[in-house]
Amino acid sequence: MKTPLKGVFNGAFDTVDNIKISPFSRAYTFSDSLYEVVPFFNSTAIAFDHHIKRLEFSASQLAMAVDLKKVIFEINSLITSSEFSNGYVYYQVTRGVDPLRSHIHEPNLKIETFGYAKAHLFQWKPLRVSVCDDIRWGRCDIKSTSLLGNVMSMNAAKLDNCDEVIMHKDNLLTEGGASNLFFVKNDSICTPALNGNILPGITRALLINELKNYNIEVIEDNFRLEDLSNASCAWLTSSTKGLAPISEISNLESHFDLYHPLFKKSEEIFNKKFLS
Ligand code: PMP
């Protein structure tokens, strides 16, 4: 029998199946919610403070009064009480339950929180991806659960046997459907510069910082689709993928070197610091 998934809802720890949510929760009616995915390795959260800071930023943008101490306590409890040592915690913060569905929320609603821990291993898996128009809103720097643009594009790509998408707005590269993009062009590691169209990925920031410690520069700039199609290798980063190399871009007919020295070096540096 499968062990039931354990979670925490509004501070009460229970199996996820026992959690009851109101249909007037604004998570349900408006996706008026934020989230974080915090990976842990050997029962220790990776870059926990970065995740909390990003949640604090997202909450400030939505004017949600989130009790960060409670969030930290609950995420830590999910990690320490889990039966596995490698995995991630999904943690969501919702504005609360409104008495009536209305775009304008009642003032001072009680923040609703939900989290669970899931076993997960970082696996080396080359990705087949496709490029697509970035159809999302202009505040993708907020880590909100409103992800319909990502959901539509990734499911359309799945029909072409792709694992992920790389999005662009008017030919300017933004990011993956659930990841950030890196590629090597003219022997330099490049990544799109942060703006409102990109989630400031924690894995992205950790990698850039760690490479800097080895005097390897990452160029953060505005890059175009042509820069990617002419790249010699490319990879995506996220808290659950780590660094995942891209084997091909199906609709550009680009094939990449999975063993490029700059990718191997990045992978080695990242794994040594965070996964060993
Ligand atoms: N961009 C998007 C749209 C994402 O959903 C994610 C993963 N949540 C990322 C980038 C990567 O962020 P992180 O490294 O913090 O997981």
Q: Please write the tens of the pLDDT for every residue from 104-125.
A: 999 999 999 999 999 999 889 9
Over residues 251-271, the pLDDT tens digits come to: 998 999 999 999 999 999 999
Helices and strands counted in the chain (H then E): 7, 15
CA distance 112 to 28: 12
C-beta of 191 in contact with ligand 1 (< 6 A): no
Choice from 151, 239, 274 to test ligand 1 binding pocket (greatest atom count within 8 A of CB):
239
C-beta of 203 in contact with ligand 1 (< 6 A): yes
C-beta of 199 in contact with ligand 1 (< 6 A): yes
The whole model's pTM is what?
0.97
Tell me if 32 sits within 8 A of 105, measured CB to CB: yes
Q: How far is the CA of 21 from the centre of ligand 1 (A)?
A: 26
Give the residue, by CA position, lying nearest to ligand 1 atom 10. 179
**pLDDT tier at 4 (50, 70, 90 boundaries)?**
confident
Compute CA distances 185 → 168, 200, 205, whole Å.
18, 22, 20
Q: Which long-range contacts (CB under 8 A, 24 or more apart) does 53-57 make?
A: 54/143, 54/200, 54/202, 55/91, 55/93, 55/143, 57/142
Say whether pLDDT at 2 is over 90: no
Say whether pLDDT at 183 is over 90: yes
Give the residue, by CA position, lying nearest to ligand 1 atom 12. 201
Average pLDDT over residues 189-211: 98
Q: How far is the CA of 107 from the centre of ligand 1 (A)?
A: 30
Identify the helix (H) or strand (E) that includes residue 111. none
Domains identified in the chain and CATH numbers:
6-119 (3.30.470.10), 127-274 (3.20.10.10)
* pLDDT confidence of residue 84: 95
Compute CA distances 99 → 9, 29, 96, 243, whole Å.
19, 12, 10, 44
Residue type, 36: E
Compute CA distances 30 → 105, 150, 153, whole Å.
10, 16, 20
Say whether pLDDT at 59 is over 80: yes
